[in-house]
Chains A and B, each alone.
Chain A
Amino acid sequence: MTDEDDYDNFTSALKQSRFRRGEQTFEEALAVGDNVARNGPNVNTQTQEQTKQQDTVVLGSSARKRDLDTLHSAEEEEFLDHLLDQNQEQGTITPRLKKPRLGAMKRLNFMSQLSSGEPPLPDDDITPPSSPDDLPQSRHPGSSKVSKQDIADLSGMAPMEDVSFQTMTKRVLKRPPVLEDYIKVTSSDGTRVYMVLQDEDSSPGVEFDKLRWSGQRQLHLLGVPFYDLKEQVAEENRRLVLEESQRLSEMLNSQIDEEFGVVEKQEGEAADEIDDECEECSSSTLWVDRFTPRQYTQLLSDDYTNRCLLKWLKMWDTVVFGQEKPIKKSKQLVEKHSSFKQSQQLQQNKWKSKTQITEEILDAELDAHSRPKYKVALLSGPPGLGKTTLAHVIATHAGYNVVEMNASDDRSPEIFKTRIENATQMKSVLGANEKPNCLIIDEIDGAPSAAINTLMSIVNRKDVKEDETAAGGGKKRRKKDGGILQRPIICICNDQYVPSLRQLKQQAFTLIFPPTLPSRLVQRLHEFLHGRGKLNLSMRMIQTANVGLKDVNKSLFSIWQEIFQLPKIQRKRIGQGCSLPYELRSSDDQKALDGIMKTALNTAAHRFNHILHLSTSSGDHEKITQGLFDNFLLMKFKDPTFNGVCLALEWLEFTDILNKRMMSVQNFQLMRYLPFLPVTFHVLFAASSVPRISYPNSHYEAQTKIAHMHNLLTALVSEISPAIRSRITLQALVSEILCLLLDILSPKMRPVNTQLYSAREKQQLTDLIGTMLAYNLTYHQERTPDGQYVYLLDPNIEDVCRFPELPARRPMTYQAKQLIAREIELEKMRRVEALLNSRNMEKKEAVEVKNKTSESNTSSKACVKNHKQTLENVLKSVSVKEKVELDFFGRKMDKINIVTTSTVTGAAEPMKETAEKFIGKAVGNSDVWFRFNEGVSNAVRRNVYIKDLL
């Protein structure tokens, strides 16, 4: 182990020696390799000029790594543990990336990731440059100089202190070097130092290898070191890319640059390059487009979220790219987690539980088709945080072709289904990029639930099918393979609690976006402005600016509050820049500066202008007016003569007139007068105390009430008898008739049985019922919430024409209402019956009328005739007629018989024949009938005495 090989030989020698020893298990060997890796890169980075001498140092340190481990102080041990965790965390990814990559190179013709020029950094694609607060610097004041970008370097911090601190101090500069590339490093206490990168150029080739790839030294299990292969591929790829196309974006350039030496290019410069190139290609692009993040490292959103999503996307690799997922040692993982958490406990408390859950999800086994358990990822968070950007960047990063659907697309279930299936099952044949698709469904919370159900069925249906086909024959199998979901779907929503998403949420890998960290924002903005020569951007300005609010206006509440509140004293305002949201409404620097410089805001003119500006810019005049109307009487203002209130009401009326005019004549020029209402209110009612503002709902309530009343009235009118309907209008009905009708409908009634009513009272009752029927009113029993039953008018016109605050006049008793309701029902039935009768028996009525006339003539005859008449009627209605008189065999029976019998019976029992008997005779034609004795035959026997015979 003391031989001084060059660095490339070092590993093989090390490996050989270890296996020769044979005392270690493979895992131990791996662990050793880890340690080597841990120590190696640090030394390498610290000692930028790598000589063989220093390699010896490396070898020495690795050889006595056990001693080192034991010799470390307790604190360092803990720190090492922590670092080990981080290392392992990356290590969990590293093997997964390595082996599959190799397979993919064979299969996919150098893989999209590589062809797109992505840096094959194992640490980079999961761990982007962490934000400054993520670094565990606070725990180690000693190691204040830490390379910010390279996390892999972190693992070398402990040795860095021990071994090579002094070498590093030579290169640390207090101010940025003028001509060279440099890395800037910021410690936790804010001191910034710069490290020159010039040495990289002087140590090409092998040196680069060491610098770049020593982090993976532990995995050299191939004949040729893997990084060599990779390097070749990258080299070749780069050449191809450079030769092939000039239209590759700056993303490629920067990443290739990264690959070739500039380990971490300063982000500001990257941004510069982007800007330059953008300006080159199109100077007319918006800033928004120009500064859109294009790489993973440029993402502003939360690191953890980014990483989780990427990890989830990587889980699809097995299906999509046919790569193997590495088998993890779960036991180790658990240990690591625990220690990791311990060390992180102080820093990120809030992450703990969430981390656990999501990591469990991400560590979960793949399903039968080696897809992740959650087929859909759901990103949720307020607008403007970069969810869509993240999804796009990550999908591109992971080697997918992004297919996006958003709110502007048609989302009917059929089209939705076709599009999803197109995206997940097809592949673009044309064009050079043969990347698999990744479907991004933006703003899914706006989609109809039917469409979401379709999505769910696409995700789930296959599972059912697969069960079926597992039992069934192979014929279905092809179909199943065509139908199975094999591409990742990322859904993005603003509000994850939308009801239609409820189902999706259960089966989706849900990620909630935290708000953007201001520090990262500052950093990013710095990158822009640094390149543009505008360095006058301060932290406070950014804090005060409304960042990340893509399309969210200032809330109405804040507007109302400002209208009703006098501005605070100046010094207070300076102290809490970001709590006063109104200063900077635009991201324009000049305006922002103006806003801050504005000092005399509390003077009247400024107040006037401020409120005017506020209301003009908010635009939602209607809501603002409603809020003012609802709240202005609750404010604390001094107005003993109510002049102000009257004025305010006049203003409101004026606004109403304006609104009406605008809406009816489309005269929108009048709109420019609307913003002055809030100004007036501010002048009249603003107070220094914090106003309590409630959301205006009186307008809404009034609207619903009007609609309700209107419905009631239309229901009433539609059923009103036509004679009345022809004479009333809705307006007249409400204002003139109904309130009086209520009085008419509640007469005094004695609380006794109707039988005991006098003739006048009975008449009164029938009149009442007639009236109520004419107006289609009735009493309807209802149950009040406290369990009592009351009778209410059915179209409850009391609601319409009676103020609820006023006492009801002379309510009728429950019994009276019940009686009336019953009588109304009866009367209705009677009327219906009368109607039916009149329709059915018009003839009969005619006869009866005749009859009545004759009846009036002779009373004695009348009864006989009447009797006959009814019989005839019965016969007619029964329609016995001739048919009955036909014989059973169809012959006509002689009518004489009938006549005789009928006369006979008529004589026998005069006037008492019922129709039934008549019919019986008519049928049987006789007075005799037969009675059947079942099973009895005693009719034959009879005793005969001989004496009777004699």
Chain B
Amino acid sequence: MVQIVVHASPRLDGGGSAPEWLLLELQGEIESRNHSGLAGNLMGELHFSKEGVPILVVGHHILYGKVTRLERPFVVLVKQTGARAGAERPMETEVTEQEVSEGSILCNYLVTAIIKKKIIFKTRPKPIITNVPKKL
């Protein structure tokens, strides 16, 4: 049997639970200019209106979403091998008993965050038009 060892985050050892993250679910893709990858780029801004409606501004698009509670919460695990060869890679993995139950001795996982809620943006984004140029 494969055994996967899950540790609590060392920072959290002192007490309290892992920090809670939010899951953003978008119906669509985020693309970057020149396909240079998303890394290091500012994606956009997330705001909440007074009514608590989340509003995401990406590029010249604005998206309206809503906050839902996940039926099953997620945890964010960070794989840690003994050699620490792999770069830190945040992965969203569904936590299941079978997977967690056993792991190799060399490899263990560190819980970095717990995700209980997600914001889902499933409507068509609206363009932001500031000033229409009349003549270029």
Contact surface of A with B, Cβ cutoff 8 Å: 874, 877-880, 883-884, 886, 888-889, 897, 905, 908, 915-916, 919-920, 923-934, 936-937, 939, 944, 946, 949-950
Q: Does B60 lie within 8 Å of A931, measured CB to CB? A: no
Minimal Cβ-Cβ distance residue in B for A900:
B42
Judging by beta carbons under 8 Å apart, are B131 and A930 in contact?
no
- Known contacts A883-B130, A949-B107; 17 further A-B pairs (Cβ under 8 A): A916-B136, A923-B59, A926-B42, A926-B43, A926-B44, A926-B58, A928-B30, A928-B38, A928-B43, A930-B28, A930-B61, A933-B28, A944-B93, A949-B79, A949-B93, A949-B99, A950-B2
- Evaluate contact between B136 and A926: CB separation under 8 angstroms: no
Contacts of B101 in A (CB 8 A): none
With A878-B136, A888-B62, A923-B60 known as contacts, the answer to whether A931 contacts B41 (CB < 8 A) is no
Residues of chain A lying within 8 A (CB to CB) of residue B53: none
Residues of A within 8 A of B41 (CB): 926-928
Q: Which of A886, A920, A927 has the most CB of B within 10 A?
A: A927
Chain A: which residue is nearest B94 at the CB level?
A944
6 contacts between A and B (CB under 8 A): A878-B133, A886-B130, A923-B60, A927-B32, A946-B2, A949-B2
Q: Is the CB of B26 within 8 A of A930?
A: yes
Which residues of B are found within 8 Å of A930, using beta-carbon distances? 26, 28-31, 44, 58-59, 61, 63, 125
Q: CB distance A928 to B2 under 8 Å?
A: no
Which residues does chain B contribute within 8 Å of A874, judged by CB atoms? Answer: 136
Query: A936 to chain B: which residues have CB within 8 Å?
Result: 27
> Which residue in chain A gives the minimum CB-CB distance to B26?
A930
Which chain B residues border A932 with CB–CB below 8 Å?
Answer: 27-28, 124-125
| B31-A931 in contact (CB<8A) | yes
**In the complex, chain B residues whose CB is within 8 Å of the CB of A923:** 59-60, 128, 130
- Any chain A CB within 8 A of the CB of B84? no
Q: Is the CB of A929 within 8 A of B136?
A: no
- Shortest beta-carbon distance, A394 to chain B, in Å? 82
Residues in chain B near residue A919, CB distance under 8 A: 133
Q: Which one of B60, B63, B107 lies within 8 Å of A924 (CB-CB)?
A: B60
Q: Is the interface of B mostly helix, strand, loop or mixed?
A: loop
Residue B114 interfacial (CB < 8 Å): no
Contact A931 B29 (CB under 8 A): yes
A217 to B46, CA, bound (A): 124
CA distance A916 to B99 in the complex (A): 51
B125 proximity list for chain A (CB < 8 A) = 930, 932
Chain B residue at smallest Cβ distance from A947: B2
Known: A926-B43, A930-B26. A915 touches B62 (CB 8 A): no
Say yes or no: A950 contacts B4, CB within 8 Å.
Answer: yes
Q: Across the two chains, which residue of chain B brings its CB closest to A937?
A: B27
B76: shortest Cβ distance to chain A, in Å? 14
Q: Within 8 Å CB of A877, what residues of B?
A: 133-136
- By a CB distance below 8 angstroms, the chain A residues around B34 are 908, 927
Least Cβ distance of A820 to chain B in Å?
Answer: 33
Pick from B28, B44, B79, B107: contact of A928, CB under 8 Å: B44
Chain B residues near A879: list those with CB within 8 A. Answer: 131, 133
Contacts A915-B136, A930-B59, A949-B4 given; indicate if A878 touches B131 (C-beta within 8 A). Answer: yes
Q: In the complex the two chains form, what is the Cα distance from A944 to B2 in whole Å?
A: 15
Cβ of B67 within 8 Å of any chain A Cβ, yes or no, is no
B residues near A905, Cβ cutoff 8 Å: 33
Q: Does B104 contact A (CB under 8 A)?
A: yes
Q: Is the CB of A933 within 8 A of B29?
A: yes
**Are A928 and B133 CB-contacts (below 8 A) given A933-B29, A949-B99, A950-B4?**
no
Q: How many whole Å from B90's CB to the nearest CB in chain A?
A: 14
User: Which residues from B are CB-within-8-Å of A934?
Assistant: 27, 124
Q: Which residue from A908, A920, A933 sits with its C-beta under 8 Å from B60? A: A920
A920 to B103, CA, bound (A): 49
B8 touches A (CB below 8 Å):
no
Given contacts A878-B134, A880-B133, A946-B99, contact A929 B57 (CB under 8 A): no
Q: When the two chains form their complex, are residues A928 and B60 in contact, meaning their CB atoms are under 8 A apart?
A: no
Nearest neighbor of B77 in chain A, beta-carbon distance: A949
Q: A879–B136 Cα gap in the complex (Å)?
A: 10
Which chain B residues have a beta carbon within 8 Å of chain A's beta carbons? 2, 4, 26-34, 36, 38, 41-44, 47, 57-63, 79, 93, 99, 103-104, 107, 124-125, 128, 130-131, 133-136
B104 touches A926 (CB 8 A): no
Least CB separation from A888: chain B residue: B128
Task: Judge whether A928 and B33 touch: CB under 8 Å.
Answer: yes
CA A939 – CA B24 in complex, angstroms? 12
A880 engages B130 (CB within 8 Å): yes
Alpha-carbon gap, A937 to B121, bound state (A)? 12
Residues of A within 8 A of B44 (CB): 926, 928, 930
* In the complex, residue of chain A having the shortest beta-carbon distance to the beta carbon of B128: A888
User: Closest CB-CB distance, B81 to chain A, in whole Å?
Assistant: 9
Query: What separation, in Å, do the CA atoms of A53 and B118 have in the docked complex?
Result: 146
A residues near B128, Cβ cutoff 8 Å: 888, 923-924
Instruction: Write the nearest CB–CB distance from B36 to chain A, whole angstroms.
Output: 8
A889 to B49, CA, bound (A): 11
Is B29 in contact with A928, judged by CB distance below 8 angstroms? Answer: no
Query: Does B59 contact A928, Cβ atoms closer than 8 Å?
Result: yes
Chain B neighbourhood of A950, CB < 8 A: 2, 4, 103-104, 107
Q: How far is the CA of A889 from the CA of B62 in the complex (A)?
A: 12
When the two chains form the complex, which single residue of B2, B26, B29, B131 contacts A880, counting CB atoms closer than 8 Å? B131
Output the nearest chain B residue to A944 by Cβ-Cβ distance: B93
C-alpha gap A925/B41 in the complex (Å): 11
A888, B56: Cα distance in complex, Å: 12
CA distance A874 to B41 in the complex (A): 27
Give the Cβ gap from B113 to chain A, nearest Cβ, in Å. 18
Q: Measured between alpha carbons, how far is A932 from B26 in the docked complex, in Å? A: 8
Kindly state the separation between the CA atoms of A939 and B41 in the bound complex, as whole angstroms: 21
The docked-state distance in angstroms from the alpha carbon of A877 to that of B61 is 24
Residue contact A931 to B28, C-beta cutoff 8 Å: yes
Q: Which 10 A-B pairs have the closest CB atoms?
A: A929-B59, A924-B59, A878-B133, A927-B33, A924-B60, A930-B58, A932-B28, A923-B60, A930-B61, A933-B28
A944 to B98, CA, bound (A): 14
In the assembled complex, the Cα of A937 lies from the Cα of B122 at a distance in Å of 10
Determine if A933 and B130 form an interchain contact, defined as CB atoms under 8 angstroms apart: no
A944 to B99, CA, bound (A): 11
Which chain B residue shows the least CB distance to A908?
B34
A905 vs B26: C-alpha distance when bound (angstroms): 27
Tell me the bound Cα distance from A897 to B59 in angstroms: 13
Q: What is the CA–CA distance of A879 and B135 in the complex, to the nearest angstrom?
A: 10
Residues on the A chain within 8 Å of B63, using CB: 930
Cα A923 to Cα B61 with chains together (Å): 10
Q: What residue in chain A is nearest B60 (Cβ atoms)? A: A924
CA distance A877 to B133 in the complex (A): 8
Taken together as a complex, chains A and B put the C-alpha atoms of A933 and B27 apart, in Å, by 6
- The complex places the Cα of A930 from the Cα of B104 at a distance, in Å, of 40
* Pair B27/A928 contact, Cβ less than 8 Å: no
What's the least CB distance linking B56 to chain A, in Å? 8
Give A936 to B27 CA distance when docked, in angstroms. Answer: 7
Most buried by A among B38, B61, B131: B131
Q: In the complex, A741 Cα to B33 Cα: how many Å?
A: 65
How far apart are the CA atoms of A877 and B44 in the complex, in Å? 28
Interface centre among B42, B60, B124 (most CB of A within 10 A): B60
* Chain B residues, CB < 8 A from A946: 2, 99
Report chain A residues within 8 Å CB of B29: 930-931, 933, 939
Q: How far is the CA of A928 from the CA of B43 in the complex (A)?
A: 6
B99–A929 CB distance below 8 A? no
Given A932-B28, A944-B93, A950-B2, A884 and B33 contact (CB-CB distance below 8 Å): no
**CA separation between A306 and B33, bound complex, in Å?**
106
Q: How far is the CA of A150 from the CA of B30 in the complex (A)?
A: 122
Please indicate the chain B residues that have their CB under 8 angstroms from the CB of A929 in the complex: 30-31, 58-61
Distance to closest chain A CB from B23 (angstroms) = 11
- Chain B, Cβ-Cβ closest to A874: B136
- Note all chain B residues with C-beta closer than 8 A to A908: 34
Q: Which residue on A lies nearest to B56, using beta carbons?
A: A930
User: Complex Cα distance A932/B29, Å?
Assistant: 6
Q: How far is the CA of A939 from the CA of B136 in the complex (A)?
A: 39
